[in-house]
């Protein structure tokens, strides 16, 4: 056996017994066979111990010594990989949802198939909500959120085109001030001459980790702002009928000049504010998904709202 010569070359001392028996013969060092070599943690490969009259060789492998740490390291790596995959899946779902919302006019013109697809994506995102207690993360709620989709039918008449010719809903937003616990819902209208907005100011109270109670206090009709460039379209659509404006373009130009003068005068006036009294001016919202880009809320009527944070790349199709 290859290890025997190596051990036999190791210098050893024998112990002479102090017994009074002169015939006592000291024992020679004995070598433990390799088959009986025992391993003990704490010794690296090649270590051994000498005990009086015999050798006891204890050997450990590097794998045994580092095994537990390697196992912990592998477990941590597996957890990290799963976390990365979860984040990537969430980002994919967010982009898929944003793509599905494109062209739906905030849900007004979405087909039943598109609504079903959007509903499925919303459910998947809610199951991966990275903020299980949104009201405890007010810094994420804070800021301006743009409405990208809703199933709330109460908004559909407002979104429908043709109710007011040449005027359309340009943006619906909600601005949350988490420091003062205020919410402002705003609808911005755009026309050929100016833009204006109608807003409601409200206070909110935290009722649960996901739910807030909203009490509306004041309405505001914003001062019209002149557009940079005024363009008269060739036709308008009213109640599904196209009306050609070319024959009366000259008249419209004259009206446009007069309207511009009036709009400039109105622009110098302060916004019109009015109170919203009564217990009916209340609502609540349940936030079911929240991160830095998307907020999904469900209202007290069962409707869903998908809002995207102002400045998020998801606003760009």
Partner residues linked to 174 by β-bridges:
145, 185
Average pLDDT (11-25) is 46
- The band of 209, judged by pLDDT with boundaries at 50, 70 and 90, is very high
Q: Would the pLDDT of 18 be above 50?
A: no
Average pLDDT (210-237) is 75
Percent of the chain with pLDDT over 90: 38
Average pLDDT (250-269) is 63
pLDDT, tens only, 180-203 = 999 999 999 887 667 888 999 999
pLDDT at residue 308 in the model: 97
Range 79-227+267-315 has CATH code 2.40.128.280? yes
Residue the block writes with tokens 């909203």: 214
Average pLDDT (246-253) is 60
Q: Which long-range contacts (CB under 8 A, 24 or more apart) does 272-281 make?
A: 272/220, 272/221, 273/218, 273/219, 273/220, 273/221, 274/218, 274/219, 274/220, 274/221, 275/217, 275/218, 275/219, 276/200, 276/216, 276/217, 276/218, 276/219, 281/215, 281/216, 281/217
Average pLDDT (41-58) is 45
Distance CA 102, CA 254 (A): 38
Average pLDDT (203-225) is 89
Distance CA 7, CA 89 (A): 61
Compare 300 and 162 and report the one with higher pLDDT.
Answer: 300
pLDDT, tens only, 134-168 = 999 999 999 999 999 999 887 877 777 545 566 78
Closest CA relative to residue 165, chosen from 194, 196, 192? 192
Range(s) for CATH 2.40.128.280 in the chain? 79-227+267-315
Closest CA relative to residue 126, chosen from 300, 295, 315? 295
| Contact (CB, 8 A) for 203 and 177 | no
Q: Is 173 helix (H, G, I), strand (E, B) or coil?
A: strand
Average pLDDT (236-251) is 60
Distant-in-sequence, close-in-space partners of 304: CB < 8 Å, separation ≥ 6: 119, 122, 149, 150, 151, 152, 296, 297, 298
Cβ–Cβ contacts within 10 Å for residue 36, how many? 8
Q: Would the pLDDT of 60 be above 60?
A: no
Distance CA 234, CA 31 (A): 107
Residue the block writes with tokens 């060789």: 57
Average pLDDT (60-85) is 65
Q: Is 141 helix (H, G, I), strand (E, B) or coil?
A: helix
- Among the ranges 8-17, 43-52, 182-191, 228-237, which has the highest mean pLDDT value? 182-191
Cβ–Cβ contacts within 10 Å for residue 217, how many? 13
Give the H or E element holding residue 84.
helix 62-101
pLDDT at residue 281 in the model: 77
pLDDT at residue 237 in the model: 61
Q: Would the pLDDT of 118 be above 80?
A: yes
Structural tokens at position 80: 């990290």
Structural tokens at position 162: 């043709």
pLDDT at residue 62 in the model: 44
What would the 3-class secondary structure string for 1-21 be? CCHHHHHHCCCCCCCCCCCCC
- The band of 257, judged by pLDDT with boundaries at 50, 70 and 90, is low
């Amino acid at each position: 056996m290859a290890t025997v010569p190596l051990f036999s070359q190791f210098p050893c001392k024998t112990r002479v017994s102090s017994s009074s028996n002169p015939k006592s013969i000291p024992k020679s060092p004995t070598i433990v066979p390799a088959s009986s070599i025992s391993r003990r943690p704490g010794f690296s490969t090649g270590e051994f111990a000498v005990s009086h009259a015999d050798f006891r060789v204890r050997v450990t492998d590097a794998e045994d010594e580092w095994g537990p740490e390697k196992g912990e390291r592998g477990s941590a790596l597996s957890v990290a990989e799963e976390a990365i995959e979860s984040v990537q899946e969430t980002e994919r779902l967010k982009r898929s949802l944003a793509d599905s919302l494109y062209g739906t006019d905030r849900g007004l013109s979405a087909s039943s198939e598109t609504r079903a697809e959007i509903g499925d994506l919303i459910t998947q995102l809610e199951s991966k909500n990275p903020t299980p207690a949104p009201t405890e993360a007010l810094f994420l709620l804070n800021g301006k959120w743009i409405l990208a989709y809703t199933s709330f039918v109460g908004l559909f008449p407002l979104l429908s085109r043709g109710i007011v010719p040449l005027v359309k809903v340009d943006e619906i937003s909600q601005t949350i001030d988490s420091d003062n616990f205020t919410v402002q819902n705003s609808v911005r209208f755009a026309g050929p001459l100016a833009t204006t907005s109608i807003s409601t100011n409200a206070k909110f109270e935290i009722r649960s980790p996901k739910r807030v109670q909203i009490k509306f206090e004041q309405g505001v009709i914003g001062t019209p702002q002149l557009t940079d460039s005024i363009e008269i379209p060739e036709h308008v659509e009213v109640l599904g009928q196209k009306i050609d404006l070319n024959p009366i373009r000259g008249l419209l130009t004259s009206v446009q000049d007069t309207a511009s003068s009036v709009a400039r005068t109105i622009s110098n006036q302060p916004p019109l504010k009015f109170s919203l009294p009564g217990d009916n001016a209340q609502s609540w919202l349940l936030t079911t998904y929240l991160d830095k880009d998307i907020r999904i809320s469900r209202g007290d009527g069962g409707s869903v709202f998908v809002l995207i944070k102002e400045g998020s790349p998801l606003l760009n199709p």
